[in-house]
Amino acid sequence: MDRQSRRADRWRHHLARAGIPGARRLAGPARQARSDGSRRSAGGWVVRYAVVAWKPGAHKLTLPPLWLLGPDGRADSTAGGTTSFSVASVIPDSLRQPSPQGLLAPLRRAHQDPLPPFVAVTLAAGLLAAGLAARRRRPRALEPAPPVPLEREVPDTRWLAAGEPKAVAARAIWRLRTALAGAVPEAHPALATDECLAVVQRVRPDAPLGELRELLEQLDRVAFASAHGVDVAALSAMARRLARDLAP
């Protein structure tokens, strides 16, 4: 219980002791301190009483009187007053001699069976696999693609009439080099013209090497626009003939 008291400067308190019969009493001598926390001041002081109760419920408590002692020997007193407080619950009186108990030993963890977690994980994995299998889409049966008719090769005369001799020369070079690669696998289209002819000469010495060299060089000049006034149609026909001769 806290009680605030105001007194003149240099006056001192004398805290009286008084027993209070009944189910509650003071649990020791009262203590005083200044209300703002310091020891000396002309302001108010707080007198604090420790109270103990044995029964729950509302209690009415009469505090002991408070004596004031002045510096010149004068004395004065003030009534302690009456206060009320309520106790929610108390220690039951079934314990005859209640005494503090020591710390309990650490509780041993209960034995855990690993089977339930294993079963749960297995069941979850099975359900997940079943769900994925049920939601997986089956491959759709696609209808066969309709046959695409092959376009006929554009004649050389149309390319020449359109002013595209380079296209005719490029097609003739591709046809002849493809035939050479089929007859001599080492002379693949990635090789340059001179490298290709050197491979053909080494592997197929009976091939018309001179005619091939002259024809490929002329077609290269037409394809790179370095030859003018050349009969590109005749060169394309010669390339067709040589390709047929080289075909296995």
**pLDDT tens digits, one per residue of 71-124:** 777 777 777 778 888 888 877 766 677 676 777 777 777 667 788 889 999 999
pLDDT of 150 > 90? The answer is: no
Q: Which residue has the higher pLDDT, 3 or 24?
A: 3
Say what the pLDDT of residue 42 is: 47
Tell me the H-state helices in 91-208: 115-135, 156-161, 165-183, 193-203
Say what the pLDDT of residue 21 is: 52
Domain map (residue ranges) of the chain? 2-87, 156-246
pLDDT band at 227 (very low <50, low <70, confident <90, very high): low
With a pLDDT cut of 70, the percent of the chain lying above it is 77
Say what the pLDDT of residue 38 is: 35
pLDDT of 129 > 80? The answer is: yes
Q: Rounded to two decimals, what is the model's pTM?
A: 0.40
Say what the pLDDT of residue 191 is: 86
Other C-beta atoms within 10 Å of 68: how many? 16
What's 163's DSSP letter? T
Mean pLDDT estimate for the chain: 77
Residues whose CB falls within 8 Å of the CB of residue 47, separated by 6 or more in sequence, listed in order: 2, 3, 4, 5, 13, 15, 30, 31, 32, 66
pLDDT band at 43 (very low <50, low <70, confident <90, very high): low
Chain-centroid distance, C-alpha 248: 64
pLDDT tens figures, 161-198: 888 888 888 888 888 888 888 888 888 888 888 888 88
DSSP E strands in the chain: the ranges are 2-5, 12-15, 24-26, 31-34, 45-48, 51-53, 57-62, 66-69, 75-78, 82-87
